[in-house]
A and B are shown apart, each in its own frame.
Chain A
Amino acid sequence: MSATGLGASVKRKEDIRFITGKGHYVDDINRPGQAYAYFHRSPHAHATINSIDVSEALASPGVVAVYTGDDIAADKVGGLICGWMIHSKDGSPMKAGAHPVLAQGKVRYVGDHVAVVIADTLAEARDAAEKIVVDYGVLPAVPDPAKAVGAATVHDAAPDNAVYNWHLGDKAATDAAFASAAHVTKLDLVNNRLIPNPMEPRAAVGDYDSGTDTITLYTTSQNPHVARLVLSAFIGLAPEHKFRVIAPDVGGGFGSKIFIYAEETVCAWAARKIDRPVKWTSDRTEAFLADAHGRDHVTHAEIALDANGKVTGVRAHTIANMGAYLSTFASSVPTYLYAPLLSGQYNIPAIYAEVDAVYTTTAPVDAYRGAGRPEATFVIERLMELAARETGRDPAEFRRQNFVTQFPHQTPVIMAYDVGDYATALDKALEHADYKGVAARKAASAAKGKLRGVGFSAFIEACGIAPSAAVGSLGAGVGLWESAEVRVNPIGTVEILTGSHSHGQSHETTFAQLVSDRLGISIDNISIVHGDTDKVQMGMGTYGSRSGAVGMSAISKALDKIEAKAKKVAGHVLEAAEGDIEFKDGKFTVKGTDKAIDFASVALQAYIAHKFNGQELEPGLKESAFWDPTNFTFPAGVHICEVEIDPDTGVVTVERYTAVDDFGKLINPMVVHGQVHGGIAQGLGQALMEGAKYDDDGQLVTASYMDYCMPRADNLPSFKVDTIETPCPSNPLGIKGCGEAGAIASPPAVINAITDALGHEDIAMPATPAAVWRAARKRVTRQAAE
């Protein structure tokens, strides 16, 4: 392994601009003559719009234009779309209400977009927005997904607020497993609603060139080509060849920047309308109100065991909150990203899941780090832990007994696990966590009047999303390949143009490591270009831990073509048959001779084209590739959380957190560990602190950092992170993906630890000090009663 090749913890190339304040985020971009957009948002969760009076706003100083839903409709701008069709179990297609860019006739959540003011300065736009007068006819709010059926109708297209009633698995076989079970464990679970909160709020600058009739949209996107596709083909702002989308440095996404939102659409549309650049930057309150939220499941789940402790069946019924509109990929999250993972790491013969997706008067809910897989992991890992406790089994050994050990393994819920070694990860995690010392540490805590508990989470996820035909058969409206182009310059430097997008993932370093490794050139001579539809040929973007397994595989495939072409050129230069040329460590040699030429010289020869017939061999050295995965990838691991609870205050301290993950081959362990740290922190946030709350009137009462508890440095411990490696067989690099693992694995590990400490299961996420204090009191009360 070279110092900068595959497997090396190379320091990041992109860091220099970020640590010196020279990054280029969207809000750092100003265009000449730019105007500013500010949105007038609904203060009501659910209301008809009887009238909108914008006259005073229009007369306000500096105002250029005020637009409402009527203006959007008059321009025949299409509505926002949901790109994944789900069919209910009766075969009917999901019932999707219209999702206008600016509200038409009705608002459906607090923060819904009613009008936009465009003015010379942001302050003038904000001042004018306050002068818009809307006559609302307030309707009953529907904030609670569990009570959505039978409540006020959010969309006429969806009676009873039911979007779909979907199912997966063999109900009869599963019911039979439960009928003959020796033990059944049952749980009611709420997967709490989260607000993603990347530190960079969303932003957009729409820019229109009337000379070429071209729109350029600078936007905080994880997938600029998908944004262009949707804005062109579905919303109809401009055809793709007249529409450039640029996503420069983007400050975190975690899913929330996948989606195509109203604000970015309005900036692109209005820029042409007023023939001036239009800029919008979300403030944090707007981000809380109108970024797509995550999770929000209410689930009843059961697990069946035989007398020997073998799991024989799992069944779950879930109510999934879609919010007020179906966001871009919302429908896929509680269905195909959720139920196929309910098998966990276990050999379970029968699984059946039912999911009722409902509309409510809350912000749209869509993919947030993990997307469906954390919800599935929470179900199966809470069930496994509780089943072990109820039957008097050690939770680690109970899991081990049920692990899948033979690969490939076909689960009863779609997925074919390709490779893994779950027992080794468990062993390593037990060792790192000093599991043998738990009893002594519990006793030491008890001696101080504290409660100590340990919780496990043996997670699996499906990522590397995904084989296009497979997801197409499940309802996806797009293919989920990735594209790459390798441009070798005449002096041997290389530009990689990738459809993946880095918003923290470190692609400028890790992708360069692959190229350096393959071509034997310095990573300083490689640049990674992403985030610009005019530069990169195509792309599906970054989410679902796919940039390594899918994005880098596309680069690898293009590099194969570069190597093949370069060998032909080298053959001509070295006057040898192409078949006799070997390429290693950046050098082309003729087999059995000392004749050699380095990569840069071959590049130059490819462009000079003096040594070969340009009719027989094309000059130049540039290749592109599309990589369509052959399977999902299956990262898995074992996380162990150890907490100490102060029963007098309810404060939970995470004393130890151990993660042993199998991500297949690692490109850059430093970066992989960083991804795991961040994921764990978000999962600990979900388990202990974070929770979006709407009141009965549908007002979001957690709409600032004063009210929504983000994990701070002093809430978290340092983490013990390690890996094992079973190379993924379905891509050329053997990598599985690491971006979401921490967020998927950690919530059940934490809650299992807390319930272990409390001695009962009655605690919901987030396990805030107030909730834990109440739960700890209950324990004391129960003990006294006993």
Chain B
Amino acid sequence: MVQVAMTVNGKAVSANVDPRTLLVQFLRENLRLTGTHVGCDTSQCGACVVHLDGKAVKSCTTLAVACDGAQVTTIEGLAHGGKLHPMQQAFQDNHGLQCGFCTPGMIMTAVDLVNRKGNALDETTIRHELEGNICRCTGYHNIVKSIAQGARDMAAQPQAAE
């Protein structure tokens, strides 16, 4: 067992874990933050995307011990003070989700996309940047709309740094 300590959604956490523990297992099983999902075992589907030191990573292929000392934000840490993050709100406004399973990863990827590419995103860019996130319900049509709105709204409502 190895000691691992990190900050998750602004809270300091630590635990003794099996060295092979993945970040997603640490979040889901040790911290019981079950909003981060596992949809595949080849890093393809993106249901497990979280932010590690402000950048989107697939937590299913990240070892928990490799995140020692890091800042991690999960879907549970996105809303602040009872107010949805603009990207979360955009997904509801545009019916950007159906079963909801891919949604946390989609939203975390989308926020990262805006952080990297700015607030004016065209459809081609959004679709290209979603290559690493699979949705089986929506056909992506409304996810693309959601992200375009979320990106615009993030400009209007600057977010606290993660």
Contacts and interface: CB of A to CB of B under 8 A. Distances in A.
B116 interface: no
A219 to B, nearest CB: 15
Given A18-B100, A27-B38, A11 B136 contact: no
Interface stretch (A198-206, A577-585, A602-610): A198-206
Contact of A704 (B28, B40, B104): B40
B138 to A, nearest CB: 5
Interface string A546-561: 0000000000000000
Nearest to A254: B136
Given A250-B99, A705-B44, A713 B92 contact: no
B79 interface: yes
B138 A674 contact: yes
Q: Which of B47, B98, B123, B133 has the most C-beta atoms of chain A within 10 angstroms of its own C-beta?
A: B98
Interface stretch (B51-59, B139-147, B154-162): B139-147
Contacts of A198: 99, 101, 136
Contacts of B99: 198-200, 249-252, 503-504
A206 B124 CA distance: 45
Contact of A21 (B74, B91, B124, B128): B74
B136 A704 contact: no
A20 B137 contact: no
Interface in B67-115: 74-76, 78-79, 84, 88, 91-93, 95, 97-104, 107
Q: How many residues of B sit at the interface, in one of the four size bands?
A: 35 or more
Given A18-B97, A20-B88, A718-B144, A713 B35 contact: no
A28 interface: yes
A200 B40 CA distance: 9
Nearest to B125: A714
B5 interface: no
B11 interface: no
Nearest to A16: B92
Given A716-B139, A716-B140, A706 B42 contact: yes
B18 interface: yes
Interface string A605-645: 00000000000000000000000000000000000000000
A505 interface: yes
A254 B135 CA distance: 13
A290 B151 CA distance: 40
Contacts of B79: 20
B95 A671 contact: yes
A15 B97 contact: yes
A136 interface: no
Contacts of A254: 136
B136 A718 contact: no
Contact of A199 (B18, B88, B95, B102): B102
A72 B97 CA distance: 40
Contacts of A710: 44, 134, 136
A712 B39 contact: no
Contacts of A17: 100
Nearest to A712: B131
A531 to B, nearest CB: 13
B88 to A, nearest CB: 4
Interface in B1-47: 18, 20, 28-29, 33-42, 44-45, 47
A15 B101 contact: no
B138 A678 contact: yes
Contacts of A673: 95
B127 interface: yes
A284 B41 contact: yes
Contacts of B44: 704-706, 710
10 contacts: A12-B92, A16-B92, A18-B103, A284-B40, A504-B99, A677-B138, A681-B139, A706-B44, A713-B135, A718-B141
Given A19-B97, A197-B136, 17 more contacts: A14-B100, A18-B100, A21-B34, A22-B35, A27-B38, A199-B136, A199-B137, A201-B39, A251-B100, A252-B101, A504-B98, A705-B42, A705-B45, A713-B127, A713-B131, A713-B133, A714-B124
Interface of A: 11-12, 14-25, 27-28, 30, 123, 197-201, 249-252, 254, 281, 283-285, 503-506, 670-671, 673-675, 677-682, 704-706, 710-714, 716, 718-719, 742
Closest 10 CB pairs of A and B: A21-B35, A251-B101, A18-B100, A681-B139, A504-B99, A21-B75, A705-B44, A504-B98, A677-B139, A713-B130
